[in-house]
Amino acid sequence: MAYLELKNIYKTYGQGDNVTEVLSNINLTIEEGEFVAIVGFTGSGKTTLVNLINGLLEPTRGEVLFKGEPVVGTSHERGVIFQNYSLLPWLTVGQNVFMAVKVAFPKKSKSELNAIVAEYVAMVNLSHAINKRPKELSGGMRQRVAVARALAMKPEMIIMDEPLGALDALTRGNLQDEILNIWGKDKRTALLITNDVDEGIYMADRIIPLRPGPNATLGPEFKIDIERPRDKTELNDNPNFKKTRNAIIEYLMEIGNERKSEVQKEYALPDLTPKSFVW
């Protein structure tokens, strides 16, 4: 039995004449312990797909099965790292994490909860900033808080919606390693949504392109056969890496062109000449 299974998912927004079908016929299976990346253009419906899996949205048709059970609403078993951090600005770093830990482990005592908070904040190297508010942190630090918050709830599956999209390349690389570290440590299942093919190849076991919406659907999957732990500098010389990367990019370019040719339409411009032209 697959760990997470999406069967013939359709998702539409709007009603009546304004219906847009964002996702159509999405089929996806993820096995336990796998790291899967979905790459796609911006606006192709990636966030909608994530929200269907984490339970914030319901599919219009089809079903999402998590460990064989249909997904109804959100669950602490599936931790989410949002694209825009979504930290509560009136709480400090520690309080933001504490709030999540408290609802995840309602039976634990306050000191136990505080210990968990401290542990996870330390894991993302933010112990020095535990009493700061999100406003006082840089983008990368905020995203690390969001990572700590999601992981501190000890979810079985981590769902990441372009978690590193807004970060600079250096911070991005560091956080990629941190996430991989955590994922590798207790072998959770992870789903990463990204628009960066290199990031996908570096982190995931499988990459699945999402064809651009409306009517977005998943393309053929690409397996990444590169030994872990992967080294970023060596990766560039790895023939496997080059091959996969080129294949994925070629595929994405192809569907990008397809989209363009669909949009291309001849607009006949009226043949106008100004009646009088006064300078």
Partner 1 sequence: MSIALNKVTKLIELDFIKKAKSILTGKIEKEDLKNFFRKVIVPLASVVIFIGLWHLGAKALYNIEADYKIEKALSEQGQVAANEMKACIASGDIKCQPNTLPSPAQVLQAFKTLVNDHYIIKADKKAFIEKTASLNAKRLAQGETAIVYTGRPSFVDQIFTSIRNVFAGFLLALVIAIPIGILIGLSKTFRSSVNWLIQIFKPVSPVVWLLLVFMIVKTLFKDSNSDSSFYISFISVGLCGMWATLVNTAVGVSSVDKDYLNVAKVLKLGPFQKIFKVILPSALPLIFTGLRITLSVSWMVLIAIELLAQSPGLGSFVWEEFQSGSIDSNSKIIVAMFVIGGIGFLLDRIMLTIQNMISFNKNEGI
The minimum distance between CB 181 and partner 1, in angstroms, equals 23
The minimum distance between CB 39 and partner 1, in angstroms, equals 23
Report how many residues bind partner 1 under the rule CB under 8 A. 23
The minimum distance between CB 84 and partner 1, in angstroms, equals 6
For partner 1, the closer of residues 95 and 114 by Cβ is: 95
Kindly tell me which residue out of 14, 42, 43, 56 binds partner 1, with binding defined by CB under 8 A.
Answer: 56
The minimum distance between CB 86 and partner 1, in angstroms, equals 4
**Burial class (CB within 10 angstroms; exposed 0-12, middle 13-18, buried 19+) of 253:** exposed
Report how far residue 214's alpha carbon sits from residue 195's, in angstroms, rounded to the nearest whole number: 17
Report how far residue 83's alpha carbon sits from residue 162's, in angstroms, rounded to the nearest whole number: 5
For partner 1, the closer of residues 139 and 173 by Cβ is: 139
Segment 116 to 175, residues that bind partner 1, using CB under 8 A = 133, 135, 153
Report how far residue 251's alpha carbon sits from residue 34's, in angstroms, rounded to the nearest whole number: 23
In sign, the C-alpha dihedral spanning 164, 199, 11, 71 is negative
Segment 216 to 275, residues that bind partner 1, using CB under 8 A = none
For partner 1, the closer of residues 136 and 186 by Cβ is: 136
The minimum distance between CB 146 and partner 1, in angstroms, equals 10
The minimum distance between CB 31 and partner 1, in angstroms, equals 24
For partner 1, the closer of residues 36 and 97 by Cβ is: 97
Q: Are 168 and 25 in contact (CB under 8 A)?
A: no
Task: Output phi, psi for 78, to 5 deg.
Answer: -115, 105
Helix (H) or strand (E) holding 203: helix 197-203
Report how far residue 230's alpha carbon sits from residue 174's, in angstroms, rounded to the nearest whole number: 13
Segment 63 to 102, residues that bind partner 1, using CB under 8 A = 73-76, 79-80, 82, 84, 86, 88-91, 99-100
128's tokens: 């020095």
- Residue 81: beta bridge partners? 160
132's tokens: 């700061």
For partner 1, the closer of residues 82 and 251 by Cβ is: 82
Count of other CB atoms within 10 angstroms of residue 144: 27
For partner 1, the closer of residues 91 and 249 by Cβ is: 91
Kindly list the residues in this chain that would bind partner 1 in the complex (CB under 8 A).
54-56, 73-76, 79-80, 82, 84, 86, 88-91, 99-100, 103-104, 133, 135, 153
